[in-house]
């Protein structure tokens, strides 16, 4: 918690008894270098990042095909008891209610197809003019540009 109060952790949350956080320095260094950073965070954390650094955020909400499939996947992991599974399902329904605020929503029916879709989104987003680090310098070095 010291890291949170000192500002070294830019976003943090406790999820089902586990603490998660995003180190400020790592994220800011990556933004400065134009390096993509993947964060797996809840809707509140995503909204915080969208508010703080919208021009640098590409938000992707990944949902299961159905609540029944989510239950099957959670039970199949055998990592949680039934009470935790029920709490996760309830939490998922609430999280999903916020998905339309994201840039993209992907229904995860097949893991490989989902990974391909995420890769395609990230490639396209990296090609946006505003995200091409050094683009202006490149253009100025190769073309006579007018201001």
Domain ranges of the chain: 58-130
14-33 tens-digit pLDDT: 776 777 788 888 888 888 88
CATH 3.50.50.60 assigned to 58-130? no
pTM of the model: 0.77
Q: Is 81 left (phi over 0), alpha (psi -120 to 50) or beta?
A: beta
Quote the tokens at residue 142.
């190769």
Q: Are the CB atoms for 92 and 70 separated by under 8 Å? A: yes
109-128 tens-digit pLDDT: 999 999 999 999 999 998 99
Q: Are the CB atoms for 4 and 12 separated by under 8 Å? A: yes
Q: Which candidate, 11, 34, 29, 30, places its Cα nearest to that of 21?
A: 11
């Amino acid at each position: 918690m010291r890291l949170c109060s000192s500002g070294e952790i830019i976003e943090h949350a406790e999820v089902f008894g586990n603490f998660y956080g995003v180190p400020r320095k790592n994220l800011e260094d990556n933004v400065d270098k134009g390096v993509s950073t993947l964060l797996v965070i809840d809707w509140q954390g995503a909204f915080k990042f969208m508010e703080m650094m919208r021009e640098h955020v590409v938000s992707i909400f990944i949902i299961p095909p159905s609540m029944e499939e989510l239950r099957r996947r959670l039970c199949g992991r055998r990592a949680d008891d039934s009470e935790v599974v029920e709490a996760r399902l309830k939490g998922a329904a609430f999280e999903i209610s916020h998905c339309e605020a994201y840039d993209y929503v992907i229904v995860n029916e097949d893991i490989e197809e989902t990974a391909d879709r995420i890769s395609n989104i990230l490639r396209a987003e990296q090609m946006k003019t505003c995200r091409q680090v050094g683009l202006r310098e490149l253009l100025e070095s190769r073309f006579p540009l007018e201001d």
